[in-house]
Amino acid sequence: MGAATCGCDPRIASAAFCHVRALRRSRDGTTSEITALARGDGWVHAAADVTAAFNGAAAVQNLEREVVFVEPDVLIVFDRVAIASSAQATWQLSTPARPTVSGTRATMATAGHDLVIDRVLPATAPTILDWSSDGDFGGGHRLDVTAGGGASQFLHVLSIDGAVTAATRSDDGGRIGVRVELADGRTATARFGADGVDGTLTITGAGAAVDVALAPGIDD
């Protein structure tokens, strides 16, 4: 499941995927649906239902992604997955340099910029694949986070160059969420519906005053 960029900083618009193991790949010729797209003062929200990309495979009942871009350097990625009990969902992020993992935080450092991935859900620790061991690739790595069959959620915060000082789970009202402390003094709290697009976003501090619903529909 490819990440929507929606104008976000290209340094954090790396390809993050939610892949259902037990299927080789999604299918060409299918049509997925953008279910939400909205922009406000310093933020963008987008949602997509990509279940159709698996072409009616019995193992995949639902696969949706929501992203919240907190300008200019933070991307919150929420994946809602429902698969067969015999399948396995894997969230994947390909990187040019090997990430280092410390607790729930993975950091990919390069000469130009650092990419930080804060894992909020699931609890499963990531594994790292070294592509240099594969003769079909010239190098690079892949960060994998897996969850078992059934219904599950993936929640990650991607940021660059120290933009995020902390990311902690923050559920409320039946929604699954994260509180993100930014180095510039702002605090962003995004919460997502467990069963569909029905969330909230607040951004406070450093002059910010955002309090909006993350709802279905495409803004004009």
pLDDT digits (tens, 9 = 90+) for 45-61: 999 999 999 888 899 99
Question: Which CATH architecture describes the domain 10-162?
Answer: Distorted Sandwich (2.70)
**Domain ranges, ordered by start, for the chain:** 10-162
Average pLDDT of span 4-13: 40
**175 close to 138: Cβ distance less than 8 angstroms:** no
Is residue 65 within 8 Å of residue 77, measured between CB atoms?
yes
CB 79 within 8 A of CB 119: no
Whether residue 122 has a cis bond before it, omega within 30° of 0: yes
Record the pTM. Answer: 0.89
pLDDT of residue 26: 54
Backbone φ and ψ for 98, nearest 5 degrees, come out as: -70, 125
HSE-CB for 94 with a 13 A CA cutoff: 11
Q: Name residue 167's beta-bridge partners.
A: 180
Mean pLDDT computed over every residue of the chain? 89
